[in-house]
Structure 1
Amino acid sequence: MKVEQIHHVAYRCKDAKETVEWYGKMLNMDFILAIAEDHVPSTHEPDPYMHLFLDAGNGNVLAFFELPTKPEMGRDPNTPIWVQHIAFKVKDRDTLIEFKEHLEKEGVEVLGVTDHSIFHSIYFFDPNGHRVELACPDPEEEALLERMDAVKWDMLNEWSVTKKAPKHADWLHAKELNKDA
C-alpha cells in the first residue's frame, strides 16, 4: 500500500475569478474544473463555496476555495511568511528567468534568483497572499542529490536531538554566502 501522487493541493482564495485569471496570465495554468455547492459534502454543514481547479502540469492540480460567508483570510502569525508556500518546477534556468521577467513586467515583485545548489528559485506572492516559488534543477542536480541522500538520516537524527542546524550539507549555500563576503 503506497500513495501514488498528490491528487490536488487546496488553498483558500479571496476571489475565485481573480485567482483563475491571475494563475492563467502569470503562470499559464489552465482552468480545468469548478465545483460550487451550498453544503460541504464531507461535513454536511451549510456553507456556500466555489472550489476551482487549475492544471499545474504533469497531472498536478492546484485548487482553491472561495468562502464568502467566512471571515477574511489571514495567516498564522506564528509561522514566518517564507515557510508556507507552494513550489512549481520549471524546465531550466532560462525558463525561470523568462518567468521572472514576465512576472516583473506584469507588476509582480519577485525575489531571486536564489541558488540553492541543487536547484534555483524565484519567489513571489499571488493575489491571495500565498507565497509561490518557481524552481528549476541545477545542471549538477543528480550528483548533488546523491550527496544529500548520503547524509539525510544523519542530519535528521542530529536535528531531532539538538534542534540546531547540522553541518553535513552546509556546502549547499556556501557559494551564496561567499558571494556576499
Structure 2
Amino acid sequence: MQKLQTQGVHHITFIGADRQTSIDFWEGMLGMPFIFEQPNLDVPTENHLYFDPGDGRLITVFTNENRKPDPTHIPEGIGHLQHIAFSVSRATYTQAKKRLDERGIKNTGEVDRGFMYSIYFRDPLGLLVELACYKFEPPVGVTHAEVLLEAHLIRTERGDYAISDEHLADAIERLTQRTTRSLSPDRGVADPYGGSTDETTDRHVAERPRG
C-alpha cells in the first residue's frame, strides 16, 4: 500500500447563486481574472465559472440564474468548510479594512496570527473569507512552509505557547545556514563592534543618512 501523493491544490469549487454575483465578487471585488466558462458537464442546468486567484490555481463556481444570493452564514459542522484564505501583499493588506468599510462590509479588522496578519469577512453567500499576509519572506530556494516547520520545531523546543516573530527570525537564520555555503570555517554569531558596553555602543550609533 502506498500514498496518493498530491502536489498542490488544483482547484476549489463553490456552489454559487447567479452568474453575475460570482463575477462581481471574485473578479470585481477580489480582482481574480475571469478566465474560463462552460456548462457544468454533470448538471446541465448549471454554468461553471473559473477564476485565477493569482498563483495559477483555480477557484471555480457552479451558478444557476434561478438561485438568488443568500448572505446567511454557512453553518459550521464536521466536514464543512470553515473558511478560505487568500494571500495578499502587505501593501494590499494595509488597505483591506478601509476598502471593506467603504463597501459597508462587516469585517474583523487586523488579526495578528503570530506568523501572518489576517482580516475576515463574508462573501454575498455567507462564506467566511480571509485575506492573509505573511510576516516574513523565506530565504531564496526555501518555501514559506519550510520556514513554518522550522519555526514550529524551535517553538516546541523552547516550550512556547504560540509562534512569534522570534521563532520565525531564528528559523530563517537556521535555514539560511543549512541551505547556503560559506568560505568561513566558523559561521557562529560574532560581534564586529568589539564589545557591548554603553561607551562602545555610543561610538557606533548609526548616523541619519543625508538627503
TM normalised by structure 2 equals 0.59
**Alpha carbons of structure 1 residues 6 and 69: separation in structure 2 relative to 1, 3 Å:** same
2:153 and 2:13 map into 1 onto residues whose CA distance is 30
Q: Secondary structure at the match of 1:171?
A: coil
Aligned to 1:135: 132
Aligned to 1:114: 111
**Alpha carbons of structure 1 residues 116 and 78: separation in structure 2 relative to 1, 3 Å:** closer
2:51 and 2:87 map into 1 onto residues whose CA distance is 15
Q: Secondary structure at the match of 1:111?
A: coil
Q: Per chain length, whose mean CA-contact separation is higher, i.e. which structure has more relative contact order (CA < 8 Å, sep 6+)?
A: 1
Aligned to 2:89: 91
1:77 and 1:99 map into 2 onto residues whose CA distance is 25
Aligned to 1:33: 36
RMSD of equivalent CA atoms: 3.4
Deviation at 1:4, TM superposition (A): 2.5
Equivalent residue in structure 1 for 2:150, among 108, 124, 146: 146
Structure 1 gap ranges (5+): 41-45, 155-167, 174-181
1:78 and 1:110 map into 2 onto residues whose CA distance is 18
Deviation at 1:83, TM superposition (A): 6.1
TM normalised by structure 1 equals 0.67
Deviation at 1:149, TM superposition (A): 4.3
**Alpha carbons of structure 1 residues 169 and 8: separation in structure 2 relative to 1, 3 Å:** farther
Structure ID, larger Rg: 2
Structure 2 gap ranges (5+): 139-143, 165-211
Aligned to 1:15: 18
Preserved CA contact (<8 Å) 1:35 1:50: yes
2:74 and 2:123 map into 1 onto residues whose CA distance is 17
Question: Are 2:162 and 1:171 equivalent residues in the alignment?
Answer: yes
Q: Secondary structure at the match of 1:27?
A: coil
User: Which range moves more in the overlay, 18-27 or 127-136?
Assistant: 18-27
Q: Secondary structure at the match of 2:105?
A: coil
2:126 and 2:74 map into 1 onto residues whose CA distance is 12
1:124 and 1:77 map into 2 onto residues whose CA distance is 15
- Which residue identity is paired with 2:84? I
Aligned length: 151
**Alpha carbons of structure 1 residues 138 and 11: separation in structure 2 relative to 1, 3 Å:** same
Aligned to 2:194: none
